[in-house]
Amino acid sequence: MSAVRYLPNLIWPVSFTGAALVVAVASLLLVQGTVLPPGITPAGVAPAEVIPLLFGLDAGMVVLIVAELLFSFLGAPVKRNFLRQNLLFHGLALLFLLFLALEKGVALPGISWGFTSAATGSYQIILIIRNLLLLSRFLERLRKLSVAVRDIVLHPARTVAVSFLIIISLGALLLMMPQATLDGRGLPLVDAVFTATSAVCVTGLIVVDTATVYTIWGQIIIMLLIQAGGLGIMILTLFALVVMKHSVSAEKKVLLSYILNDSPMTELAVVVKRIVLITLGVELAGATALFFLFAPVAENLSHQILLALFHAVSAFCNAGFALFSTSLEQFQGSPGINFVIAVLIITGGISFAVLTNLAQMVRSRISIYLFQRQERMVVLTTNSRAVLLVTALVLSGSFLGFYLLEHGRSMASFGVGLQYLTAFFQAVTLRTAGFNTFSLEGLTTATYLLMITVMFIGGATGSTAGGLKVNNVAVIAAFLESRRKNRQETVLFGHALTPWQISTAFSVLLFGLVSVIVGAFLLALTETGTLTDYLFEAVSAFATVGLSTGLTPRLPSFGKLVLIVLMFIGRVGPLTLLAASFRRKGEITISYPTAGIAVG
């Protein structure tokens, strides 16, 4: 009976929230020109006859949001606890009302807000984000009544995919805000989704110039999306819980154990804290160095700080976004910038596990040899040795290949030192970073094929990089070597690999090849480039590299959607998507007869 008595207090606020959300979306689409009823131009300019409709929608939003706040507060049994627990949602609601008042010209005596008519639309974005968060919390409370939501929470792979989709959606909404772009209109829907996906998936492919299209606010949004995508949404969430000393549920521990490649659940808090501290420490060190290196091109102190922070985050997360229209081409002859960016890229691309192992190994040697302490010496794990070896081979091979193929052609006018520096930086950035200090137009077909191969290999598992992953390359190479020597076991650095590890490596390879081929085929349907262009862009998107032959900005909406899907697959991971699509069923052991099929 008590549940029935309090049901109206639950239903009314949610009804108002949902209604306000629908009205806000409708208002935003009208202003942005995404929906074009009679009288609305594609530029998003509303003529006189449509203004009453927009005014009515805005008035409806105010009534609904005030009603929702009022009913929620009156229905709360303990008002103080209600206000404290809902501080974020009430704050966003008040921010919505404030922005609406400012953008509708509500003036206060003696105060000049500095808003222009071009700023229209931000209040809808704020309300949409706020109500989506509020509705998501409401649905979370009803999770035990919803099989679908419970399945997402209990299924690690599905939760990872959904987390990235949510942050991409929020990022796209933020980039559609008028304050995000210099023209005061915000990005169109498809371009906003593309850019948000590219940032969250740490790719770096762009359809508009990051340097000239976005305001400082828009550039900061992209930087935060890169950071969230690089670290992983759930890792950031768990770190926040650890820092705030909240207990972490068993479900979240299972999920994070999955994300961190089966790290022991008892060590998750330590592992996550270490990952975040390493990330912030390396990025801060890189930003400090870049702060001084970017001084000659910075407009002022705040611009200098933004340049340093943005490029440090973008480099460590292997994103490849730059605040210069030609990426880093103007710094081609700057050894300092080339070196700092390259170190950040390599550090972010070898995985947190390898970085931790290296730090522990150095610490143990200092402790034993310098301080003469009696303790067990830490050595490189099999995983670390594989990552470092394949990374060194890929970097060396791509450096030599790029230099030999282009030193007498596109780099013929460079001095020898500049040729080496350019080839080195391109070898580093090809592994999924996406920066370039050298124009990629006019290269030989052989160079493009070399770049495609290096991009497809990518970085390390568990890092901010994408691609096939150097770990899988090591496993596949060890398997082929064992077959060549007719060994029963696959051995890597004196350790036997399990059949599951081998099948996983080949599964990722097969899925990656299929994704790239299908993606290139779909891009070819747009008839906007050559076969090399299609293959290059498809691999760049799947491997989350971000380098482009110039095709991406010319693609129609269909081509952009193809790249969006490829970027999402590449960042979340083929196996994660496959696992997310499976439904759990009771395990039944069945033995099948051996097949007679010719192979080889």
CA gap 252, 256 in Å, rounded: 6
Q: Specify burial of residue 164 (Cβ count, 10 A radius: 0-12, 13-18, 19+).
A: buried
DSSP letters spanning 158-174: HHHHHHHHHHHHHHHHH
How confident is the model at residue 81, as a pLDDT? 77
Q: Find residue 492's DSSP bridge partners.
A: 495
Is the pTM value of this prediction over 0.95? no
The answer to whether 162 touches 190, Cβ cutoff 8 Å, is no
Per-residue pLDDT of the chain (600 residues; tens, 9 = 90+): 344 343 344 444 455 555 655 666 666 555 555 444 444 443 444 445 455 665 666 666 667 667 766 777 777 777 777 777 767 666 666 666 666 666 555 444 444 433 343 344 555 565 556 555 555 555 444 444 445 445 555 566 677 777 888 889 889 988 988 888 998 888 998 999 999 999 999 999 999 999 999 999 999 999 999 999 888 755 655 555 455 445 555 555 555 555 555 555 556 667 777 888 888 999 999 999 999 999 999 999 999 999 999 999 999 999 999 999 999 999 999 999 999 999 999 999 998 888 888 988 988 888 888 777 777 888 899 999 999 999 999 999 999 999 999 999 999 999 999 999 999 999 999 988 889 998 888 899 999 999 999 999 999 988 888 899 999 999 999 999 999 988 889 999 988 998 888 998 999 999 999 999 999 999 999 888 899 999 999 999 999 999 999 899 999 999 999 999 999 999 888 777 776 666 555 555 677 787 767 766
How confident is the model at residue 269, as a pLDDT? 67
Give the number of other Cβ atoms within 10 Å of residue 269's Cβ. 17
Token pair belonging to 222: 């992209």
Token pair belonging to 395: 């970097």
Token pair belonging to 45: 């300019």
How confident is the model at residue 446, as a pLDDT? 95
Side-chain-side CA neighbours of 201 within 13 Å: the count stands at 35
Q: Where are the domains of the chain?
A: 1-141
DSSP letters spanning 440-482: -TT--HHHHHHHHHHHHH-S-TTSS--SS-HHHHHHHHHHHHH
**CA neighbor of 437 nearest in space, from 550, 286, 534, 335:** 335
DSSP 49: T
Q: What one-letter code names the amino acid at 541? A: A
| Percent helix / strand / coil, the chain, rounded to 5 | 70, 0, 30
How confident is the model at residue 285, as a pLDDT? 96
Token pair belonging to 386: 């594989």
CA gap 353, 330 in Å, rounded: 35
What does the chain come to in residues? 600
Token pair belonging to 536: 């290059």
DSSP letters spanning 373-431: ---PPP---HHHHHHHHHHHHHHHHHHHHHHHHHTTTTTTTS-HHHHHHHHHHHHHHTT
Grouping H, G, I as helix, E, B as strand and the rest as coil, residue 496 is strand
Radius of gyration of the chain (CA): 26
CA 505 vs. chain centroid, Å, equals 23
How confident is the model at residue 583, as a pLDDT? 57
How confident is the model at residue 245, as a pLDDT? 47
How confident is the model at residue 11, as a pLDDT? 43
